[in-house]
A and B are shown apart, each in its own frame.
Chain A
Amino acid sequence: MSMLKTTSPLLLALALASHPAIAEPPGLGKPVSEAEIKAWDISILPDGTGLPAGSGTAEQGAKVYAEKCVACHGEGGKGGINAPLVGAPPIKSIDATKTVANFWGYSTTVFDHVRRAMPWKTPRTLTDDEVYALTAYILAQNKIIGDNDVMNAQTLPKVKMPNADNFIIKFPDKI
């Protein structure tokens, strides 16, 4: 630091510019196209951005559920060794059980989470149609959509969740 104090501003500027760590990034990232990232790019945004082609209904979802989900989440989604997917017990205390119907703010989160994380032992093995069907099944069992409603990239983001308006951003200035 003492050197900096005795060096002229011009020389200092030259010295910094010649230091690659300061003047420019090392450039070791390899350019990649969005097409090459596609297999990993599974984020679904609340406005529906990222939702793939395909569709499903609750009836189709019930079959997938019986085969791939019931072992952990129980008959009809009522809960088993893992969380219930169906049911909206009223939130009466801070430690109330949070369910899709009584708490989740966005329908897209159901699709996103099922596709990225389920089934527990074999994640990311469901087809997009199966994920749409399971999403429809969970939403219909919770009476959030009708039994015959088709879920796809257009319809799913329009589903309004019952608890959507009950969230408060804690520290807006941090965003």
Chain B
Amino acid sequence: MTIRKRRCAPVLEPVAGNGLLDRRALLGRGIMFAGAVSTGVSSSPTTAAAEPLRDDPWSLETGSITPALQTPSRFEKDVVRILSNPNGEPRTSHARTPHHLLNGTITPNSLHFTINHSGIPDIDPAKHRLVIHGMVKQPLVFTVDSLARYPMVSRMAFVECAGNSAGMFSPQPLQASVQALHGLVSNAEWTGVPLSTLLEETGIDPKATWIIAEGADSLALSRSFPLKKALDDAMVALYQNGERIMPGNGYPMRLLLPGWEGNMHVKFLRRLKLTDQPGMTYFETRTYSQILPNGKAYRFYFVNEVKSFITHPSFGQALKEPGYYEISGIAYSGNGRVAKVLVSADGGKSWAQAALQEPVQSKAFTRFRVPWRWDGQPAILQSRAWDEAGNVQPLRTQFVAERGEAAKVPNVFGFASQHYNSLTSWAIDNKGEIKHVYA
């Protein structure tokens, strides 16, 4: 009966090669997909309906005790971060977000990526202090409790390691999941005190132009950022998705510099010093400066530029049969809102505009989606994003011409270079297996 009702709805034809359908199919009710009646319904017989439905054991007994702190179902045990240094050797530890196993735009706190250069400090919030000093009128010290009494703001923001997607600098495409390749970016709602509020209280020496931020970790990790950013949208964040910040993300407080490279969002924040010059710290002049093909290097890249990648389907998620799938992924820009995402299923020959999930927020994840009918033939999936400032994700040839490729194939957890924001291509063969390719 429902089929008859649907026949009245407009039928949407493919809008780009290899079966990409019109995004409007996702937006309104009563719109049907071309071919759904003739092939789709009949080609996807569901065996579940053929089996008798009955009560399983869990439906016939009282469930478990309600825990104070809930955790995901035991059936979701594979939804975890992958670790670069599980045994805590004396080096940096990365934990990458499993984007292919998540949906929507919010990264659960337990799955937010972390990079810790010298372990996670066990900070007693009652003893933690934040000092603001240097070129100010009055140096001030704040406790966690005193900051929690300030007027707060909440905003969505992605945090992305400058080295996220570094494996994409490999001269050959690494056969690795979206988690391994792009797992060093996550998105959360951050709540805290605008840094401008605190600087209003300390006063600012008119000659100050930079702030050096420092953490309470054993490295006293230190990064400099322009005062201009501090007065724009910087925040001293206390909460992450509604709860206190995770230890690995900077408990009890971190600097948030929306849209800028993750290392600058100094965690365990204990000191902000206003100066008239950058500190030229280890992490800004060594680690997070990028060597260019001509031997020079970028310094103070700061912004994570417009980027997108497809999470569903992606490497490791084989398609079981031809038919309907939703292609979806994540887009974001450190320069503002995502304006448009195009998706290709034929390696960039033709493109379909993706639906953007509202609300589209500045410097935050935007989920994009395109309906797709896979015909069982080889396909290459790509996404390409534009932001409201008019920036576009560079094609790989353009990107490599400027930034170069690594001389040797790197470890997937390595950092050949940083600030990769070109395209990611997933090639699907006629068996539905997905490989990572450059296209």
Closest to B277 in A: A45
Given contacts A30-B140, A123-B219, A124-B220, contact A40 B271 (CB under 8 A): yes
Contact at A109–B140, with CB atoms within 8 Å? no
Contact at A94–B220, with CB atoms within 8 Å? no
- CB interface residues, B 127-164, toward A, < 8 Å: 131-133, 138-142, 146-147, 149-151
CB contact between B406 and one of A43, A94, A120 (< 8 Å): that residue: A94
Residues on A with C-beta less than 8 A from B279 are: 43-46, 112
Distance from B350 Cβ to chain A, minimum over Cβ atoms (Å): 32
Most buried by A among B220, B277, B301: B220
Residues on A with C-beta less than 8 A from B416 are: 94-95
Residues on A with C-beta less than 8 A from B198 are: 25, 29
- CB interface residues, B 352-368, toward A, < 8 Å: none
Q: What is the bound-complex CA distance between A29 and B202, given in angstroms?
A: 8
Q: What is the bound-complex CA distance between A171 and B225, given in angstroms?
A: 13
Closest to A42 in B: B220
Q: What is the bound-complex CA distance between A45 and B281, given in angstroms?
A: 8
Residues on B with C-beta less than 8 A from A168 are: 292, 296-299
CB contact between B285 and one of A42, A91, A106 (< 8 Å): that residue: A106
Contact at B300–A174, with CB atoms within 8 Å? yes
Distance from A162 Cβ to chain B, minimum over Cβ atoms (Å): 12
Residues of A within 8 A of B (CB): 21-22, 25-34, 37, 40-47, 49, 72, 81-82, 91-96, 98, 103-106, 108-109, 112-113, 116-117, 120-121, 123-124, 163, 166-171, 174-175
Given A40-B271, A168-B299, 19 new contacts (CB under 8 A) = A25-B197, A31-B138, A34-B133, A37-B271, A49-B275, A72-B90, A92-B295, A95-B406, A103-B291, A109-B286, A113-B281, A117-B219, A117-B282, A123-B220, A163-B297, A170-B300, A171-B301, A171-B302, A171-B303
Interface CB pairs A-B, < 8 A, 27: A28-B150, A30-B142, A30-B146, A40-B131, A41-B133, A42-B220, A43-B279, A45-B279, A72-B90, A94-B292, A94-B404, A94-B406, A95-B291, A95-B407, A95-B416, A109-B285, A112-B222, A112-B282, A116-B219, A117-B218, A117-B219, A123-B118, A166-B296, A168-B296, A170-B298, A170-B299, A170-B302
